[in-house]
């Protein structure tokens, strides 16, 4: 069985991946991360607010749906937030170098690895 770090390292195999972490959306705490380039403690806490806001909006609109992923496009980076349906309250957070990343492959890798994360 792979460890959390093994699974996170698997996501980093995608070209352009800089850092990836697992975040508890209930507390904003970073549960683990691999890679470099961003202060993941700050990113985890800040993006927890993004997830909470989107969940409140989905509920207010009575959409009866869930977040598949959230993509934030910056000038030099992509930030992908992907909640783990099998572990409610947890999400993967990945930062990619926009100049080197293949966004489609990154999203695919994150969606493939997410279900493998066991805590």
Element at 6 (helix H, strand E)? helix 4-11
Domains of the chain: 4-116 (3.30.450.30)
Residue 97's DSSP bridge partners are 77
In 3-state terms, what secondary structure has residue 27? coil
Does the pLDDT value for residue 34 go beyond 90? Answer: yes
User: Which residues, including other chains, have CB under 8 Å from residue 49's CB and lie 6 or more apart?
Assistant: 28
Question: Nearest CA to 80 among 26, 31, 14, 29?
Answer: 14
What's the pLDDT at 1?
77
2 band by pLDDT with thresholds 50, 70 and 90 = confident
Using a 10 angstrom Cβ sphere, with 0-12 exposed, 13-18 middle and 19 or more buried, the burial of residue 49 is exposed
Dist CA 50 CA 103 (whole Å)? 20
Predicted TM-score (pTM) of this structure: 0.94
Does the pLDDT value for residue 15 go beyond 90? Answer: yes
64 band by pLDDT with thresholds 50, 70 and 90 = very high
Dist CA 86 CA 77 (whole Å)? 28
Dist CA 83 CA 52 (whole Å)? 11
Q: Locate tokens 């607010």: which residue?
A: 49
51 band by pLDDT with thresholds 50, 70 and 90 = very high
């Amino acid at each position: 069985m792979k460890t959390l770090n093994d699974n996170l390292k698997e996501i980093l195999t995608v070209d352009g991946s800089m850092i990836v972490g697992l975040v508890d959306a209930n507390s904003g705490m970073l549960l683990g991360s691999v890679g470099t380039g961003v202060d993941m403690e700050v990113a985890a806490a800040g993006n927890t607010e993004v997830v909470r806001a989107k969940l409140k909006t989905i509920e207010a609109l009575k959409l009866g749906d869930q977040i598949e992923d959230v993509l934030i496009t910056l000038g030099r980076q992509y930030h992908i937030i992907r909640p783990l349906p099998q572990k409610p309250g947890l999400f993967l957070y990945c930062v990619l170098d926009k100049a080197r990343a293949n966004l489609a492959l990154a999203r695919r890798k994150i969606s493939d690895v997410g279900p493998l994360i066991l805590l």
